[in-house]
Structure 1
């Protein structure tokens, strides 16, 4: 925790906070002695002028103490909040660049908890550190020294009180710290259940599992609540216990102090100041003990944050990246791929080449490696063996930013951002004009239903939940085609479209001059979607089973022939394709 805070806090601001805190502590320690002098000299000797002069000194000291406290609190609050800003920014940046394997390993719910709740714990601990964690030891030591000079004999009361205080702290810490650490894991769990309930609400209703999910959430909620109650009940016992010990100590101090005053061994003012110092000492000890509640919880949170920040980026830019010119060709040369921790190859010896103006279609069974293959082009993954070449150069020789400028990618899982249709389209091209956006909607066959819902300013709910699956796909395609790129990748983004819309969309893509001259890669399940492609790559178990045109594969590739036969009857194909597929 301290290492993470030290790396991300402004050292000068921290120094100023401690410097201001010094003035506050100094003022708090000086005031009881001044009070003692007023009583011993001014009150006892009836010296009114001394009382006024010393009272003015008290006001000045109090003023500096108040200024120091305000400045320290302001700087502590500012530093802790800025630390939170930095940590959240670092974690968000890390997550956006994180490999899919690491992302899935940690889980979305846990990452959300780490970015929110765990960062808040670090903020609270940092604020406490710059306030109580530094102030309490300073006050405890200073008050002890000042109290000793006022009456060494009364310090014996603390010799009896301190072991009792220490025992209370140890008992509370032993019981509460494990519970506070467990709270973070239980927070992850409740976030996971709640998030799944929100995103899967339609599935829950469709299968009538409302009661099951409610019980599931109730169980997670009760576990978190009960654990938190146990933790806070235990720690709440510390305050009354400390108050009792402090009160008992003050009674003992007054009792023994009264005997010392009666024996003329101590002035009255010294007893008053000693009581104040004693209270400062015991409260400082109590505050210090509370730190031991905050720190272990923050330490657990810091470890979880650091775990995310320590994940090494598996996809990095070269030290001296090459400049990427307009793309003329794309080539896969003996490409292999294996997921981390697995011995089985997902893709094995993949070889093909495609030039600008051509369309490559990829088809194959579920789990054959289609999506994995196209992820190498924008470097969402890096190959385990072989090379992916653009214009003859390895894609790893270019910066990711430069590479992504030339590639437009439509993911298999279509996703829309909350806002408007206009905002989602501008996500693909921030400089797009209204004409460009309308043209993209026309190509994606989305113009008609968008106009019905209000045009470009039609609202889009989170994830596009106010649109059907096919409409979301079409809007995702519109967002992709509005970007002027050299390579367009469509990862099974036609699956929710009917045959007519599918055909019209592909026809519109072929008629757009810019897209027509680009490289197009289409991953699809339907033969009708890929039949017109310049090359069709057939994948089976991560290997190329066939590569050629539709007619070539239909004649000499049994796997492709089986896919065709499994999807459509000959008469249906002839009717829908004008005789092309079996021609």
Structure 2
């Protein structure tokens, strides 16, 4: 946990909080002593002037205690919230730079839990640490010393009381700490099921699986609730038992102290001060108990967050990165590429090779699971090849910085992703400096201008995930966003699947006629032969192996796998360029 907090909080703020807390504890310990003097030397002797004098001191000390407490709370709150803010920032930054392999190791739901619930646990323990964790031991030692000074005989009461408290707190921790740790894992499961239910609500309704999903959610919800009930029921037992112990302690102090006062062995003011110190001692134990309960849960959260930070990326930045030349024409090369997913026995891609120049289109076709998306994910270096090389503009993608590489690439993923806000904001993701004319030009090429004009133009509101657009509209807007970017390589990962044949043909024709796009390389992953037929080169994949490379006509005549794809689509009436 200290490792998590290091460099994420101000050392001076921590020191300030500690100093304020020490001041608060000292004033709190001094007040009962003043009360004792007030009773012994003022009230008992009827000395009004002394009462006023000591009363004034008590008022001043109380004011100082309030100031110290306020300073401590302020700095503790600012420190804990700053720690939470910096942790969330760093986790988010780590996630943005993760490779797909690393992301899959943790999972979306768990990352959400770690960024929210786990960070809150660490914030809470940081607040507790700068309050209770400092206050409790100092108060315990100080109050014990002051109580002993007031009457050494009465301190023998603590020989009985303290072991009872320690045993009780130990029992509570033994049962509560594992349950607190389990709550984080159960929160992960709850978030997972809830998130799947929200994102898949249409599928759930379509298959009439409402009751099944409700029962599934009820199961994890009940599991979480039962765990929470157990742990908080155990914790709830602490307060009545501690109240009972405190009351019993007060009775014992009053009983034995009364006998000492009757025998004139102790002034009455000392007994009043001793009772206050006794309560401070017992409250210190209760605070320590709370701290010991908070810490294991926060430590579990810190370990989970640290695991995210400790994930070793296999996509390393080059030590001496090369720079792309602005004068070099666009170029894309696959040099006998072999790729294997982490931990997989068999390679996902074997001996893939192709060489493309500016103005050319490379298409990739194959059956489901043949490795089409895997191949294009190697271009922006979402994964690194095992053998061979991928080159963009003549440079091995592993020899340039990821930022420079991905700045040369515009990608439209399989699932069109739009962000909540205006359409203009979404399109400017491709190029923050683009003018409105350039945005409209991209919309024209993507065959999206017509339905955008019918709405509010570039100010059209985009709901979360683009849910106010159809699947085909979202794909066209995602394509337009990529076209706004001035890239060397435009990648369309099955990005025409939701388009009708006419729109598909018009869009591809517009791409071929655009001067800017003609200076780049287009990579198209497609399922339909009509989408890839016009490409300059077509890679045919089967089970990760490149079984064909050539034009549509060449492959149709010479490649059995490609011919089977064409024949199957002709029978379905979906191939228009045979």
TM-score (structure 1 length as normaliser)? 0.97
Once residues 3 and 410 of structure 1 are traced to their aligned partners in structure 2, the CA distance between those partners, rounded to angstroms, is 39
Of the structure 1 ranges 219-228 and 144-153, higher mean CA displacement relative to structure 2 is found in: 219-228
Match for residue 437 of structure 2? 435
* Equivalent of 1:498 in 491, 497, 500: 500
Once residues 572 and 306 of structure 1 are traced to their aligned partners in structure 2, the CA distance between those partners, rounded to angstroms, is 51
SS at the partner of 1:122?
Answer: helix
Of the structure 1 ranges 4-13 and 207-216, higher mean CA displacement relative to structure 2 is found in: 4-13
Q: CA deviation at 1:5?
A: 2.4
SS at the partner of 1:466?
Answer: coil
Once superposed, what is the RMSD of the aligned Cα atoms?
1.4
Equivalences for 1:56-71 in 2 at 5 Å? 56-71=56-71
Q: For the Cα contact (< 8 Å) 2:150–2:274, is it kept in 1? A: yes
Equivalences for 1:492-531 in 2 at 5 Å? 492-531=494-533
Once residues 571 and 152 of structure 1 are traced to their aligned partners in structure 2, the CA distance between those partners, rounded to angstroms, is 100
Once residues 171 and 208 of structure 1 are traced to their aligned partners in structure 2, the CA distance between those partners, rounded to angstroms, is 48
SS at the partner of 1:520?
Answer: strand
* Equivalent of 2:469 in 467, 473, 488: 467
Match for residue 211 of structure 1? 211
Once residues 141 and 322 of structure 2 are traced to their aligned partners in structure 1, the CA distance between those partners, rounded to angstroms, is 62
CA displacement, residues 526-576 of structure 1 (integer Å, 9 cap, x when unaligned): 111111111111111212111111111111111111111111159975xx4
SS at the partner of 1:427?
Answer: coil
Q: For the Cα contact (< 8 Å) 2:528–2:574, is it kept in 1? A: no
Q: CA deviation at 1:391?
A: 3.3
Match for residue 143 of structure 2? 143
Match for residue 106 of structure 2? 106
Match for residue 266 of structure 1? 266
Q: CA deviation at 1:393?
A: 2.2
Once residues 174 and 569 of structure 1 are traced to their aligned partners in structure 2, the CA distance between those partners, rounded to angstroms, is 69
Distance 1:571 1:92, change over 3 A: closer
Equivalences for 1:378-417 in 2 at 5 Å? 378-417=380-419
Gaps of 5+ in 2: none
CA displacement, residues 317-338 of structure 1 (integer Å, 9 cap, x when unaligned): 2122111124531111121100
Q: CA deviation at 1:376?
A: 1.2
Q: CA deviation at 1:453?
A: 2.8
* Equivalent of 1:454 in 453, 456, 464: 456
Q: CA deviation at 1:520?
A: 0.8
SS at the partner of 1:377?
Answer: coil
Match for residue 16 of structure 2? 16
Q: For the Cα contact (< 8 Å) 2:447–2:507, is it kept in 1? A: yes
**1:167 aligns to 2:167 (yes or no):** yes
Q: CA deviation at 1:362?
A: 0.8
Of the structure 1 ranges 127-136 and 43-52, higher mean CA displacement relative to structure 2 is found in: 43-52
Once residues 572 and 70 of structure 2 are traced to their aligned partners in structure 1, the CA distance between those partners, rounded to angstroms, is 83
SS at the partner of 1:184?
Answer: helix
Q: CA deviation at 1:427?
A: 1.3
Match for residue 363 of structure 1? 365
Match for residue 225 of structure 2? 225
Equivalences for 1:80-119 in 2 at 5 Å? 80-119=80-119
Once residues 85 and 423 of structure 1 are traced to their aligned partners in structure 2, the CA distance between those partners, rounded to angstroms, is 26
Q: CA deviation at 1:451?
A: 2.2
Once residues 503 and 247 of structure 2 are traced to their aligned partners in structure 1, the CA distance between those partners, rounded to angstroms, is 82
Match for residue 186 of structure 1? 186
SS at the partner of 2:19?
Answer: helix
Q: CA deviation at 1:7?
A: 4.5
Q: For the Cα contact (< 8 Å) 2:330–2:519, is it kept in 1? A: no
CA displacement, residues 122-171 of structure 1 (integer Å, 9 cap, x when unaligned): 00001000000110010011000000010000001111100111111011
Q: CA deviation at 1:401?
A: 1.0
Q: CA deviation at 1:9?
A: 2.4
SS at the partner of 1:367?
Answer: coil
Match for residue 488 of structure 1? 490
Of the structure 1 ranges 175-184 and 562-571, higher mean CA displacement relative to structure 2 is found in: 562-571
CA displacement, residues 486-512 of structure 1 (integer Å, 9 cap, x when unaligned): 111111101111110000000111111
Distance 1:180 1:572, change over 3 A: closer
Q: CA deviation at 1:344?
A: 0.2
Q: For the Cα contact (< 8 Å) 2:359–2:519, is it kept in 1? A: yes
Once residues 364 and 33 of structure 1 are traced to their aligned partners in structure 2, the CA distance between those partners, rounded to angstroms, is 86
Q: How many residues align?
A: 576
Once residues 574 and 132 of structure 2 are traced to their aligned partners in structure 1, the CA distance between those partners, rounded to angstroms, is 78
Once residues 481 and 568 of structure 1 are traced to their aligned partners in structure 2, the CA distance between those partners, rounded to angstroms, is 31
CA displacement, residues 35-74 of structure 1 (integer Å, 9 cap, x when unaligned): 1111111112222222222222222222221111100000
Match for residue 157 of structure 1? 157
Once residues 89 and 372 of structure 1 are traced to their aligned partners in structure 2, the CA distance between those partners, rounded to angstroms, is 30
Once residues 292 and 129 of structure 2 are traced to their aligned partners in structure 1, the CA distance between those partners, rounded to angstroms, is 11
SS at the partner of 1:568?
Answer: helix
CA displacement, residues 425-468 of structure 1 (integer Å, 9 cap, x when unaligned): 11111112211111111111111222223222222121112222
**1:44 aligns to 2:38 (yes or no):** no
Q: CA deviation at 1:3?
A: 3.0
Once residues 224 and 273 of structure 2 are traced to their aligned partners in structure 1, the CA distance between those partners, rounded to angstroms, is 46
Q: CA deviation at 1:6?
A: 3.7
Once residues 572 and 80 of structure 1 are traced to their aligned partners in structure 2, the CA distance between those partners, rounded to angstroms, is 61
SS at the partner of 1:232?
Answer: helix
Match for residue 199 of structure 2? 199
Q: CA deviation at 1:392?
A: 2.9
Distance 1:82 1:468, change over 3 A: same
Q: CA deviation at 1:390?
A: 2.5
SS at the partner of 1:322?
Answer: coil
